[in-house]
């Protein structure tokens, strides 16, 4: 794997162009030309007491407050010098700014554990992680440079933590990671985040809930197909029943022929048990392409067949 070139010393994150974040950040994932991916270590066994776990079924990270969560950033091609990864938390309502609640801000200030207590997402790499606030949108984000890979490692690993519960914010949270260079985005990955007291328990509960919901939808589709089959069967039976009530149209070129055929139809009706007044059959006269037509609807064929 080709080693990455060490980036130069990054400018202070107080520079406005480094802080700029759009009001409506996109969540559409794309790996880009550098095959940018964000991955988590697999957890073979899920326990209620585990500090964090990632569900690939839900594309959701479950973690305890202030738990250290290692995240891997993979690149399939050499990244240009000076490139960096931006980490941003957003709610489903883009107008809401995601930041640490006042209660946990005070706790962080008292403990002195972090230097940016209002940032809900924290990066353990204090030596090169930079924090900023967009003056236009007020959104909090952090970024870190892409460092040279260690021998035998094809990715860069960073450890993150979350300083506030999701329940404090009372809304769903998405984490968006973008590969950027000079403000241009070259890759994006995102996932949902839930900061809770029991990550393993919440993951299992949500996965079971989703499975039951999927089963209900599948069952509903099966019932719908069954109802459709019954409806189709009913329609087919109606078609079979309607075969005994066919209509025939005979077109003739002159009025005289039309009158003659009408007399024949009446005679046949009398022969079949009718009164010659077309009670069993109905004849109508109409113009068809410059000619005349005789329409006969055999309405009582079933009754005659029974007799």
- The tens digit of pLDDT for each residue in 120-133 reads 999 987 778 999 99
Among 23-32, 38-47, 208-217, which range has the highest average pLDDT? 23-32
**How much is the average pLDDT of 268-277?**
65
Q: What is the pLDDT of residue 35?
A: 93
CA–CA dist 185, 211 (Å, integer)? 36
275: CB partners within 8 A, 6+ apart: 269
Here the tokens at position 20 are: 């700029």
Model confidence band, residue 112 (pLDDT cutoffs 50, 70, 90): confident
Radius of gyration of the chain (CA): 38
Are the CB atoms for 70 and 53 separated by under 8 Å? no
pLDDT, residue 69, reads: 96
What average pLDDT does this structure show over 293-305? 50
Per-residue pLDDT tens for 3-33? 333 333 333 344 556 678 888 999 999 999 9
Residue 216 or residue 97, greater confidence: 97
pLDDT for residue 49? 83
Give tens-digit pLDDT for 81-107. 899 999 999 998 888 999 999 999 999
**pLDDT tier for residue 223 given thresholds of 50, 70 and 90:** low
User: Residue 1 above 60 pLDDT?
Assistant: no
SS (H, E, C) 98-114: CCCCHHHHHHHHHHCCC
Taking the CB of residue 189, how many other CB atoms lie within 10 A of it?
A: 21
When comparing pLDDT for 156 and 43, which is higher?
156
- CATH of span 16-202: 2.60.40.720
Is the whole-model pTM more than 0.85?
no
What's the CA dihedral at 12, 14, 20, 24 to 10 degrees? 120
With tokens 């967009």, the residue in question is 134
In this model, does residue 250 exceed pLDDT 90? Answer: no
Q: What is the pLDDT of residue 157?
A: 92
Closest CA to 186 of 283, 78, 304, 89: 78
* Residue of higher predicted confidence among 15 and 248: 248
pLDDT at 125: 79
Q: How would DSSP label each residue in 132-146? A: EE-TTT--EEEEEEP
Q: Please state, in angstroms and rounded to a whole number, the distance separating the CA atoms of residues 22 and 88.
A: 11
pLDDT of residue 9: 34
**pLDDT bracket for residue 291 (50, 70, 90):** low
């Amino acid at each position: 794997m080709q080693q990455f070139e060490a980036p130069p010393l990054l400018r202070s994150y107080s520079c406005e162009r480094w802080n700029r974040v759009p009001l409506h950040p996109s969540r559409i994932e794309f790996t880009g030309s550098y095959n940018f991916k964000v991955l988590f270590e697999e957890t073979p066994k899920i326990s209620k007491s585990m500090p964090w776990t990632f569900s690939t079924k839900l594309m959701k990270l479950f973690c305890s407050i202030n738990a250290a969560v290692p995240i891997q950033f993979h690149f399939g091609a050499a990244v240009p010098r000076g490139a960096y990864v931006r980490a941003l938390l957003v709610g489903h309502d883009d107008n809401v700014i995601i930041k640490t609640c006042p209660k946990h801000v005070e706790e962080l200030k008292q403990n002195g554990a972090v230097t940016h207590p209002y940032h809900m997402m924290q990066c353990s790499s204090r030596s090169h992680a930079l924090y900023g606030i967009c003056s236009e949108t007020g959104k909090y984000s952090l970024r870190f440079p892409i460092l040279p890979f260690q021998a035998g490692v094809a990715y860069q690993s960073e450890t993150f933590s979350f300083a506030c519960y999701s329940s404090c914010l009372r809304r769903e949270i998405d984490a968006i990671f973008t590969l950027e260079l000079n403000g241009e985005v070259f890759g994006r990955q995102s996932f949902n985040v839930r900061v809770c007291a029991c990550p393993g328990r919440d993951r299992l509960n949500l996965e079971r809930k989703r499975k039951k919901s999927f089963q209900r939808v599948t069952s509903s589709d099966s019932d719908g197909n069954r109802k459709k089959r019954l409806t189709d069967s009913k329609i087919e039976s109606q078609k079979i029943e309607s075969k005994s009530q066919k209509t025939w149209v005979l077109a003739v070129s002159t009025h005289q022929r039309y009158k003659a055929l009408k007399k024949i139809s009446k005679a046949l009706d009398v022969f079949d048990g009718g009164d010659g007044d077309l009670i069993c059959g109905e004849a109508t006269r109409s113009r068809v392409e410059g000619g005349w037509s005789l329409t006969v609807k055999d309405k009582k064929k079933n009754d005659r067949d029974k007799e």
